Structure 1
Amino acid sequence: MSKPTILHLGDDIKFNTELYASIKDLFTVIQPTLEERQRDAFLEALRTKKWGDFAGVMKPFWSTGGEMGRWDKELVPLLPASMKVYAAAGAGFDWADVDLFAERGILYCNGASASSEAVADMAIYHILSVFRNMQWTNMAARSLSTEQFLDAHHKSPYTSRNPQGHTLGIIGLGNIGYRIAVKANKGFDMRIIYYDPYPKSAEQEAAVGATRKETLEELLGESDCVLLAAPGTGGRILNATRISQIKKGGRIVNIARGGLVDTDAVADALESGHLQAVGLDVHEDEPNVNPRLAANRSASLTCHTAGGAIETNIGFERLSMENVRNVLTGQPPLTPVNKHMFKQ
């Protein structure tokens, strides 16, 4: 029997070379070139069955392999009926219509568990930053201005708060959201509330002192800091209206997807004094940052690097291969995203 074919999208394997060798023993691996991965060329290759009836796709890196753009109603119908699994690096999947995958019987797997620790750590950085005015004092120190240094030194403590005892409202308590809850509750003694359509078990909630809120509005009104850890497939969550529902002097942290937050509305709320501070690792129009926020000392900004640790990259690479291997050899997938969408 011939071996099943899988596509390897993106750069060469860098870390898990022994695992990759075992994958090549099990499957025929085709690695399309950068030119073949461009949208028009990729669509044409699918139409002409250039790579035959492949059974799976793996994208081991978040930064390469996605040159063809969105996997949508134009692309997904061109996939061969033989395809059973797509496994990609990264936690987010807003660039893929995973519901269309499910309709075709294609399991989509992400790399969320590999990035959970790194993203949670970055969330903690931003939580600490928005409570303790760290961006203000950072900008003042780097200004090399005696006036700005002394202004931050004397004035920032009057609006700086310890996170301890404050309420962290987490939107999306999946793998990453729950890890953030653990760190915030155990490390800072923060009260945890959350909004998620899929409740955690009573034991999981008790472990981090979490309480589930029935509505998003309820969470917004009770939170001292609203943190977004949702997957990014439901469109904008925090618009001007919802930001106004956050208690005055509240804070926002987003380590999920930039499109979840209206950054102009955030800038308005900062300038009006409704929000105390905001921490963003992700941005609406990456790599472009909202210029009003870039100039605002109450906005803590990073460059979509929450998951950017070497351990994350190793894990992304490994999971992409292991998920494809497992599905195509009849074993359970490790990180399925759309399994619940399959028709029984």
Structure 2
Amino acid sequence: MSRENRTRLLIARKVPAAVARRAEAQFHAFVTESDMDAGSVVDFCEKHDVPAILIGKKSGLQVEHITALPSTVKIIANASAGFDHMDVAAARNRGIVVTNAPDALTECTADFSMLLVLAACRRASEYERIMRSGWGKSFGMTEMLGTRVNGKTLGIVGFGRIGRAVAKRAQGFGMRVIYTDVTRAAESLENGATYYASLADMLPHCQVLTLHVPGGGVPLMAKNEFGLLPKGAVFVNAARGGLVDEDALYEALTSGHLFSAGLDVYRNERNTDKRFAAIDNVFLTPHMASATVETRDQMGFTALDNVAAVLDGRTALNPV
């Protein structure tokens, strides 16, 4: 194969057709039909000397895989905002650029977070089950009541791109917004939101709480933190399942301390804690916050933009 026609990119996860077409045209990419594991990625790179890799969770490269990569690899691109499925420090130590796609998911994840807020507050999963079972009875004035969103105080943990986008949507529903983060945002970005310097200080004021921070380490929300929320609060998580002690969450939901929860992420994804599916006051979705045609295309295109920049000798657009 001539240098001009050689494979310059391995796409190790299944991507949308539009992303695959561009990758093949621009980089003569090898595009997998099903997600590759890390060992298969290393084998391919050793055989084909590709300078760029686009990976997913299944192909998350840890230190032993990155150490085994040939010196030809210049960039590992993630088509997601998160990169906790790989060892970034090990890649940096080898001089390999790691990128992500932080902007591509913002709007759809914020939309989905508001879906979780509304569905949890208004008992959406229960209402849908009633209809699917045939309805069959009328409900009186005191039955099957949700809790109103308008006028509630929404606490946001993490006031980055997604947190701020959620705040704007919540304000459109007439919610008061408070937030906590490592540092206070510029006043121009707060848009009227109130800052709390610590999570513990903010929690007692949150009638609805939503998380928008990276995962990893000790759970952010455990028994003590759920206990600080006011009785009847609603909890939402579309960030990372590892942020939550699920035993503590289950206790808070079944004891009546929490009114409900809306969950898109879990500690053990694909094999989630079945206790949550057995209780009514949880709205559950299978990690789908970014699952729109437009966003998934943009995630892939952002990864390809980063690959193009690095292979052309320019600075990556979204270095981690």
- Tell me which interval the TM-score lies in, with the shorter structure as reference length: 0.7 to 0.9
- Provide the rounded CA distance (Å) in 2 between the counterparts of 1:32 and 1:163: 44
| AA in 1 matched with 2:53 | V
- Provide the rounded CA distance (Å) in 1 between the counterparts of 2:32 and 2:116: 39
- Which secondary structure state, in structure 2, belongs to the residue aligned with residue 86 of structure 1? strand
Task: State the Cα deviation string for residues 281-315 of structure 1 (Å, max 9, x = none).
Answer: 11222223332221222111112111111111211
Match of 2:52 in 1: 56
- Provide the rounded CA distance (Å) in 1 between the counterparts of 2:239 and 2:11: 26
- Provide the rounded CA distance (Å) in 1 between the counterparts of 2:20 and 2:10: 17
Q: Which has the higher contact order (CA 8 A, sep 6+)?
A: 1
Q: 2:303 aligns with which of 304, 320, 331?
A: 320
How do residues 123-202 of structure 1 correspond to structure 2 at under 5 angstroms? 123-144=113-134, 146=136, 150=139, 154-157=142-145, 160-185=146-171, 187-202=172-187
- Provide the rounded CA distance (Å) in 1 between the counterparts of 2:177 and 2:75: 36
| AA in 2 matched with 1:121 | D
Cα 1:34–1:309, aligned 2, differ >3 Å: closer, same or farther?
Answer: closer
Match of 1:231 in 2: 214
How do residues 256-275 of structure 1 correspond to structure 2 at under 5 angstroms? 256-275=239-258
Q: By how many angstroms is 1:325 displaced?
A: 0.7
Match of 2:226 in 1: 243
- Provide the rounded CA distance (Å) in 2 between the counterparts of 1:247 and 1:93: 34
- Provide the rounded CA distance (Å) in 2 between the counterparts of 1:30 and 1:212: 47
Identity %: 30
Structure-2-length-normalised TM-score:
0.87
- Which secondary structure state, in structure 2, belongs to the residue aligned with residue 127 of structure 1? helix
Cα 1:266–1:143, aligned 2, differ >3 Å: closer, same or farther?
Answer: farther
- Provide the rounded CA distance (Å) in 1 between the counterparts of 2:199 and 2:121: 22
| AA in 2 matched with 1:195 | T
Structure-1-length-normalised TM-score:
0.81
Match of 1:88 in 2: 78
Q: Is the 8 A contact 2:104 2:299 kept in 1?
A: yes
Q: By how many angstroms is 1:103 displaced?
A: 3.3
Match of 2:26 in 1: 23
- Provide the rounded CA distance (Å) in 2 between the counterparts of 1:51 and 1:212: 51
Q: By how many angstroms is 1:87 displaced?
A: 1.4
Q: Is the 8 A contact 2:24 2:30 kept in 1?
A: no
Q: By how many angstroms is 1:170 displaced?
A: 1.3
How do residues 286-325 of structure 1 correspond to structure 2 at under 5 angstroms? 286-325=269-308
Q: Give 5+ residue unaligned stretches, structure 1.
A: 60-64, 339-344
Cα 1:314–1:85, aligned 2, differ >3 Å: closer, same or farther?
Answer: same
Matched, 1:276 2:297: no
Q: Is the 8 A contact 1:9 1:66 kept in 2?
A: no
Match of 1:77 in 2: 67
Q: Over aligned residue pairs, what C-alpha RMSD do you find?
A: 2.8
- Provide the rounded CA distance (Å) in 1 between the counterparts of 2:120 and 2:258: 10
- Which secondary structure state, in structure 2, belongs to the residue aligned with residue 74 of structure 1? helix
Instruction: Count residues with an aligned counterpart.
Output: 317
Task: State the Cα deviation string for residues 171-220 of structure 1 (Å, max 9, x = none).
Answer: 222222221111111x1122222222254222111x2x222321121222
- Which secondary structure state, in structure 1, belongs to the residue aligned with residue 316 of structure 2? coil
- Provide the rounded CA distance (Å) in 2 between the counterparts of 1:34 and 1:281: 23
How do residues 7-18 of structure 1 correspond to structure 2 at under 5 angstroms? 7-11=10-14, 14-16=17-19
Q: Give 5+ residue unaligned stretches, structure 2.
A: none
Q: Is the 8 A contact 1:93 1:231 kept in 2?
A: no
